[in-house]
Structure 1
Amino acid sequence: MSKHSSVISSSPEIMGGTPVFVGTRVPVQTLLDYLKAGESIDDFLDGFPTVSREQVIALLEEAEKQIVRMVA
């Protein structure tokens, strides 16, 4: 069974079900690892040109909404 949002996709046929940016094979965790290491979004986008800035921003905005809901 595959799971899909407008930004993240998860399917057993793609990267063994690892959540990736839609239309790519780039794991969402890779962005998080970049950010935790102090790298910028631009650094991430330079390394993974198949991911768009809009996808990154949409992911971060959705994460923000989820965090706010958790504490509200």
Structure 2
Amino acid sequence: MNYKERITSDHQVMLGKPVIKGTRITVELVLRKLSEGASTSDLMAIYPNLQEADVLAALNYASDVLANEEIIMLDAA
């Protein structure tokens, strides 16, 4: 799945946080709700504009961001 078809970031929407296209539902919110035990079905019931593919795109986006994260090691003084 290509999350770029479902996730967008625009400085005029939610201060530029990544959101599900066409909504103000942030990737962060989706991940937080999932980590609290909500199911995809729960999320779709709470947010009628949300689709299962949107939840999967949020997960894919998060894993891609983490996979491409750069870690800078500083020498301990």
Instruction: Give TM-score, length-normalised by structure 2.
Output: 0.67
Residues 22-46 of structure 1, C-alpha deviations (whole Å, 9 max, x = no match): 1111011111111111111111111
- The equivalent residue for 1:22 is 21
Identity, % of aligned pairs?
Answer: 30
**Separation of aligned partners in 2, 1:63 and 1:28:** 8
Q: Residue 18 of structure 2 aligns to which amino acid in structure 1?
A: P
- The equivalent residue for 1:54 is 53
> How much does 1:10 deviate?
0.5
Q: Residue 25 of structure 1 aligns to which amino acid in structure 2?
A: R
Instruction: Give TM-score, length-normalised by structure 1.
Output: 0.71
Residues 10-69 of structure 1, C-alpha deviations (whole Å, 9 max, x = no match): 101111101100111101111111111111111111111111112222333455577778
Instruction: Report the structure number with the largest CA radius of gyration.
Output: 2
Q: Which structure has greater strand proportion?
A: 1
Task: Give the RMSD, CA atoms, in angstroms.
Answer: 2.5
